[in-house]
A and B are shown apart, each in its own frame.
Chain A
């Protein structure tokens, strides 16, 4: 174990914690931007520090291809290679393989696929994934799991869940740096509560430093999504971090935090920035719209970031999709927004103001009171009273 996790504040299921990793002392709940190829698109490391990023995600699949994990190791690890002094997390590489490659297939040995470089058949085993991640050197590494989309039904889900448990033992055995890198297990099991429960118990038995809830954020309906998160957070140990992979939208992060999750990652904020969309308390702002050409307000008047302090919607509008600077400025703002959201979640829990924060958040996003039913249901389970932000239901 190479981390310390100390809960410093609670509201019902929600918790604010201090997560101490080898490279950085983090505060949860937190959002991790995705720096796929050893960089967050268009932003420098000092900007990321200014914004308040604590942990950045690197994609093992991409880095193993270029510049290769051996090269990164030779140059002292990914922290040194990209000059990021804070924490890093790498995923196992499995997800990208399955989603990016034709003819990727999963067997008991591992993930078989065609090399994108020369078409040769290749195999990513749990052992190989851990070895690559050991070379990259991130503070948190992810076990190779057998991940299936939640939209799939049938015996495949059960098969994948059991295989994930068998693979975690192989990952643990292969892990050469347990005192510097934390191996997180990933809970699978689709939308089936029985399978999820088996998987949670199996992983908890292995006494890992932290646990992720995987297999979500892939197109399942929101009602199923929150129920899986709720079940897993209830079952996972309270003294270890819980990471919901691939989440996501600010609303989803608030709900999952209310249910007791601590860490999140998603490409959404930076990807949507490149399409000209800004994250704002009301939801999103599409800077490409013609109406923006005359709008001399900042993107978000309540935001303290460099972009909102200096630029108008009109100016950003003139840049987006045409000039690299447009992408950069929007990515900067969107990540700042997510970091501020993380800070607000942490501090509101610590200060005993979490329900107020949630209500405020929902009121801004749903000013007419039309909070989606799934959110209402989830908040009920989270024991947070949001009646003040919901319009009364029509009684038919």
Chain B
């Protein structure tokens, strides 16, 4: 893995380039990691995955916890790792346990032996040694060390323990590190600026290729977050990539970018898709500026539409006119409205494709704004266009 920062805006927001051996082209950052369930998207079939923008759609997040629900380390090793398992050879895999949708850290059950996760199959305790066995068999392009993530309401003592434990596990994981795959050191610290800084400073001294920032999206407020993010990123060396888990909404992504984060795992697409929403906010800079001049319907959201609404029953237009995704090139709002009404799986497939395509477009806008050194202006315009 190789990473380099190419441009800055507003001091800390940065645009960079990530090279992974398995992906033919360089991936520009800030970038989104697509969510998967056992390595494949929730709904987008593998043969349609390649219709998404290239190479922005080539980074996939895989949670080891999911994978090992039905498969053993031995079987995955025998098959040869993630690329063979999933039939996706030109993709880059980032492995870390937390999946903000279905696999959440369970801080009350985590103890000194391992990290606990709440999963649809129950609660699992993963020890560093077991975790490293999983990572070794998967052979991801990059992976995070095991962390003890805590929500914002824990006691100071519990928070300090989580930092100590995360650092200890980081060292244990690095010691068991497989030959391939870039290691991202996990940084936690909960709601405390001090602990966040302490953890980041400690991890910065370790020999890692990047940083995995955890413990966000666990009940901290929108207002508290920027300071906490900066406390993490300030002590970190600039030339190594930063990956964050748990920021979902576009505004939260912008907070992460502002603090100098490069890679994002987000649940936004998942929630939109399941609830029947499709993203429609403009991806054209001129449209964003002009959109607050356009008349808005009472109660409507210019960001997204809910295709369950009866107003779409006969709407023979695509979700977004001019969108080049598979869904917009082939289907209409009326058809998706029908599919949602009759509870057909194709609705989620089509929505996940469009929403992913559109959200990747959002990241492209972020990168353009940074390269043009107008990131702050971009953020203001975007928030105002609501």
**Which residue in A62, A296, A329 is a CB contact (below 8 Å) of B342?**
A62
Against A, the Cβ 8 Å flags (1 = close, 0 = not) of B46-74 are 11100000000000000000010111101
A44 at the interface (CB under 8 A from B): yes
Size bin of chain B's contact surface: 35 or more
**Chain B interface, >50% SS class:** helix
The answer to whether B37 and A50 have CB atoms under 8 Å apart is no
**Interface pair B335/A296, CB less than 8 Å apart:** no
B19 beta carbon closer than 8 Å to chain A:
no
| B69 close to A328 (CB less than 8 A) | no
Minimum distance in angstroms from B352 CB to a CB of chain A: 10
Count chain A CB atoms within 10 A of each CB in B74, B78, B338, B344 and give the residue with the most.
B338
- Of the candidates A37, A44, A312, the one whose C-beta lies within 8 Å of that of B349 is A44
Chief secondary structure at chain A's binding surface: helix
Known: A42-B346, A309-B87, A317-B70. A323 touches B38 (CB 8 A): yes
Q: Given that A39-B346, A81-B334 are contacting pairs, would A66 and B45 also be in contact in the complex, using a CB cutoff of 8 Å? A: no
Which of A13-21, A67-75, A131-139 contacts the other chain?
A67-75
Chain A positions within 8 Å of B42 at CB level = 323-325
Within 8 Å of chain B (Cβ to Cβ): is A322? yes
Q: A46-B330, A318-B69, A325-B37 are in contact. Are A332 and B45 (CB under 8 A)?
A: yes
Q: Is A50's CB under 8 angstroms from B345's CB?
A: no
B344→A39 contact, CB < 8 A: yes
Whether B70 lies near A47 (C-beta < 8 A) is no
Given the interface pairs A47-B47, A50-B47, the reply to whether A312 lies near B316 with Cβ below 8 Å is no
CA distance A318 to B42 in the complex (A): 14
| Given A82-B335, A311-B87, also A296-B43 (CB < 8 A) | no
Chain A min CB distance to B86 (Å): 8
Distance of A314 Cα from B78 Cα, bound (Å): 11
Q: B344 touching A41 by the CB < 8 A rule?
A: yes
Q: Is B79 an interface residue (CB 8 A)?
A: yes
- CB-defined interface of A30-51 with B at 8 Å, one 1/0 digit per residue? 0000000111011111110010
Min Cβ gap B269→A in Å is 15
B342–A41 touching, CB < 8 Å: no
Does A83 touch B at the CB level, under 8 Å? yes
Of A43, A81, A315, A322, most buried by chain B (CB within 10 Å of CB) is: A315
Contacts of B339 in A (CB 8 A): 37-39
Closest residue of chain A to B37 (Cβ to Cβ) is A323
A56-72: which residues lie under 8 A (CB-CB) from chain B? 62, 66-67, 71
**B109 near A: Cβ within 8 Å?**
no
Chain A positions within 8 Å of B330 at CB level: 44-46, 83
Alpha-carbon gap, A67 to B335, bound state (A): 9
Is B313 among interface residues, defined by CB-CB distance under 8 A? yes
Contact check, A42 vs B349: say whether CB atoms are below 8 A apart.
yes
Q: Which of A67, A296, A323 contacts B313 (CB 8 A)?
A: A67
Q: How far is the CA of A322 from the CA of B120 in the complex (A)?
A: 10
For A62, the chain B residues whose CB sits under 8 A away are 342
CA distance A74 to B314 in the complex (A): 8
Taking a contact as CB atoms closer than 8 A, the residue among A293, A328, A329 that contacts B70 in the complex is: A293
| Contact residues in B for A328 (Cβ distance below 8 Å) | 43, 45, 345, 349
Contact B334 A47, beta carbon cutoff 8 Å: no
A81-B335, A314-B71 as given contacts; A43 in contact with B79, CB under 8 Å: no
User: CA of A39 to CA of B72 in the docked complex: distance in angstroms?
Assistant: 36
In the complex, given contacts A46-B326, A324-B42, A325-B43, what are 12 additional A-B residue pairs having Cβ atoms less than 8 angstroms apart?
Answer: A42-B349, A45-B330, A81-B332, A81-B335, A293-B75, A294-B75, A296-B79, A315-B85, A317-B70, A324-B345, A325-B37, A325-B40
Residues of A within 8 A of B (CB): 37-39, 41-47, 50, 62, 66-67, 71, 74-76, 81-83, 293-294, 296, 306, 309-312, 314-315, 317-319, 322-325, 327-329, 332
The 5 closest A-B pairs by CB, nearest first: A310-B87, A318-B70, A42-B345, A39-B346, A37-B342
